[in-house]
Amino acid sequence: MLCGRWRSCRRRRREEPPMPAQVAAAVALPPQPAPQDTGSKRPGLRALKKLGLTEDEDVRAMLRGSRLCKIRSRTWQKERLYRLQEDGLSVWFQRKIPRAPSQHIFFVQHIEAVREGHQSEGLRRFGGAFAPARCLTIAFKGRRKNLDLVAPTAEEAQQWVRGLAKLRTRLDAMSQRERLDHWIHCYLHRADSNQDSKMSFKEIKSLLRMVNVDMNDMYAYRLFKECDHSNNERLEGTEIEEFLRRLLKRPELEEIFHRYSGEDRVLSAPELLEFLEDQGEDGATLARAQQLIQNYELNETAKQHELMTLDGFMMYLLSPDGAALDPAHTCVFQDMDQPLAHYFISSSHNTYLTDSQIGGPSSTEAYVRAFAQGCRCVELDCWEGPGGEPIIYHGHTLTSKILFRDVIQAVRDHAFTVSPYPVILSLENHCGLEQQAAMARHLCTILGDMLVTQALDSPNPEELPSPEQLKGRVLVKGKKLPAARSEDGRILSDREEEEEEEEEEGVEAAEQRRWAKQISPELSALVVYCCATRLRTLRPAPVPPQPCQVSSLSERKAKKFIREAGNSFIRHNAHQLTRVYPLGLRMTSANYSPQEMWNSGCQLVALNFQTPGYEMDLNAGRFLINGQCGYVLKPACLREPDTNFDPECPGPPKTTLTIQVLTAQQLPKLNAEKPNSIVDPLVRVEIHGVPADCARKETNYVLNNGFNPRWGQTLQFQLRAPELVLVRFVVEDYDTTSPNDFVGQFTLPLNSLKQGYRHIHLLSKDGASLSPATLFVHIRIQSS
């Protein structure tokens, strides 16, 4: 049974002019088969034609392929063939040693950026022998390394740069329904083993396994024969389209549609308005219903008469307007004029690392990737380098080293490509006075006017400036000489919690410690709003706040403050910035859960961005809203100076969240190389918030069906502090003998979760889209 406001009979329709019978007949007909593509007998090119780019010269050149030189180092520079696949979604590339087919492709939708010339660390270091006009870099989302390439000619390089740009633009513009259509035709092309544009039953069975469903042979053959109108044991043309339509049917959506549309099988604007009101849509009006019909209805006759067919209804529910995430929250919608301390700020720890903190490589590309994910506070571990040039690496380990000035250049070039709001450079300074002066010089000369070097004119100097006031500016977090003396007059280092790290990592060389205890006047002068200070105890209330002081706490010390002085810690964080970082004992760069720190109002909750997992899913979910700008306004209970909120004692339940997990669509195969490997999916809903709210509940698993599994199970949660809650939807492949395998997830704040029937668009472990994979759920949020 489906959720909703049930009635024993169909709802009474609002008074409206009767619909002409001929119009009803025209728009209520079953969907007509898609016209056959006479321009090509190859299903793969039909799939590419759906992108509208088969005649584009750049795309055609990519289809023919190019021999591009892949650059890894000064000595590893190999020529390889790269060719766009006919699906228009993936690029095949040659390897010296053949591997599994999935290891020979990358997907266009996983590309973060395409850069021309020597615009990557690899090409700057190793590509000097090649003209910049012949060079390009493909940067990927997630952990995949950059692909640095050199084309035989500048024009061929431009063909790939332009072609990839066009493909990415077209993919971004595709609706979910178009993505699904394109996706199924790509698999159809792969299943057509002899490429004759006809599908035998054996090929249909292969197609079903590819799309992650193990259908009973008798049922599959019956479906096959129902579409085989020529009765020749082959499906072709319109028969294939009919089979795909039957395969892609959504009975649960049809049931909802028919409940509101009645006998004529179309939705009038007033009937669609009734659906929107039942959904709990804010601002549901007749004008809004009419606009949705114009936006999503495919049938021109229906659109002209302000009617929505089943296809239009499905288009709407698969669109951003029908998603679980409130579309109004995908742009900057919060007040950005409050002090910095009133925001959660996306923050990275050991930003320079691309792997573990023991022997992993350091790279400026790690900063570029962090900025691409909306990060606004990055860390620079600065050490003495040769030739008077400070370097960045994880000290006293085998991690590789990069130049401080190269990192600052990466900040200049990439810090504001995604978000215009301020970036904080958290300096962990292990350099002597001379190289500190060199750091200050690089900061000033490279960043120029971006760098904040003096306080802004402000009507309230007792508060930090706002993100709006600091747009496009870079702040330095470090020690400030005038305020850097402790009670015994000793100049402190700006190592994060020095005594804690010594306990965790061992006492450092005496010479390095002496250097770290000296602060260069030139570097000190650049610290304006983020003066690093040690927070040993929380001050009593009468002491005036010090808004320009920033404390750095290990996760262990932060938990101690939360446990022993919860409300006092929250009040402290209402006017001062606090940065929390992982314990040094996390040798593999594992993360801690950031939720506990957010519960107490800590703004700079620093995580290892290079390490995927549920912790980074929570971070991505927290900063998914407000335009993904890296700043999210804290709830009022964490901003008020005299707040009484305590996350350990949040009070009685205020909100009931009810989620009915209905179906899933087109879940990805976990092992593409094994045709018979089909997932047994289950759905888990996790609540992350104050300790009393944290919970997880899951459905049963569905055997051998990742294509269109059905559950219809209801999960309910009682929430005490809903303003802090993140909801994480997880799909796993059930396994009786070992831990379940991750399939996909999506995380978002409860306050951005829309009610009613919603699609949840799943993401991979690295945060990349798994389109067209979705969950279909019904959500109800009731306040006490």
Could you give the residue numbers annotated as active site? 349, 394
Distance separating alpha carbons of residues 430 and 428, to the nearest angstrom: 7
- Residue 781 token pair: 């949020």
Distance separating alpha carbons of residues 547 and 531, to the nearest angstrom: 9
210's torsion region: left (phi>0), alpha (psi -120 to 50) or beta?
alpha
Distances (CA, A) of 531 to 439, 546, 552: 17, 10, 11
Q: Which long-range contacts (CB under 8 A, 24 or more apart) does 53-58 make?
A: 53/88, 53/166, 53/167, 53/170, 56/163, 56/166, 57/159, 58/159, 58/160, 58/162, 58/163, 58/166
The answer to whether 685 and 760 have CB atoms below 8 angstroms apart is no
Distance separating alpha carbons of residues 720 and 656, to the nearest angstrom: 9
Distances (CA, A) of 145 to 163, 354, 361, 365, 557: 21, 9, 12, 9, 35
Residue 627 amino acid letter: G
Distances (CA, A) of 686 to 337, 659, 726, 727: 33, 11, 8, 6
Buried b (16+ CB within 10 A) or exposed e, 214-242: bbeeeebeebbeebbeeeeebbeeebbbb
Distance separating alpha carbons of residues 672 and 243, to the nearest angstrom: 23
Q: Which runs of E-coded beta strand occur in 242-374?
A: 267-268, 307-308, 343-345, 347-348
Longest dimension (CA), the chain: 94
The strand pair at 474-478 and 530-533 is best described as parallel
Distance separating alpha carbons of residues 629 and 492, to the nearest angstrom: 34
Distance separating alpha carbons of residues 153 and 117, to the nearest angstrom: 12
Distance separating alpha carbons of residues 725 and 717, to the nearest angstrom: 11
403's torsion region: left (phi>0), alpha (psi -120 to 50) or beta?
beta
**Among residues 351, 356, 368, 359, which one has the least CA distance to residue 121?**
368
What would you report as the CA-atom Rg of the chain, rounded to the nearest whole angstrom?
A: 29
Q: What single DSSP character describes residue 297?
A: -
The DSSP string of 35-84 is: PP-TT-S-HHHHHHHTTT-TT-HHHHHHHH-EEEEEESSSS-EEEEEEEE
**Among residues 512, 549, 520, 547, which one has the least CA distance to residue 532?**
549
- Residue 348 token pair: 């990275």
Residue 545 amino acid letter: P
**Among residues 577, 581, 584, which one has the least CA distance to residue 559?**
581
List Cβ neighbours of 413 (8 Å cut-off, separation of 6 or more).
none
Helices 286-296/269-279 angle, 10° precision: 110
The strand pair at 756-763 and 769-783 is best described as antiparallel
The answer to whether 4 and 278 have CB atoms below 8 angstroms apart is yes
- Residue 176 token pair: 């979910």
Phi, psi of 400 (to 5 degrees): -75, 170
> Residue holding tokens 């959506």?
253
State the Cα angle at 537 between 536 and 543, rounded to 5°: 120
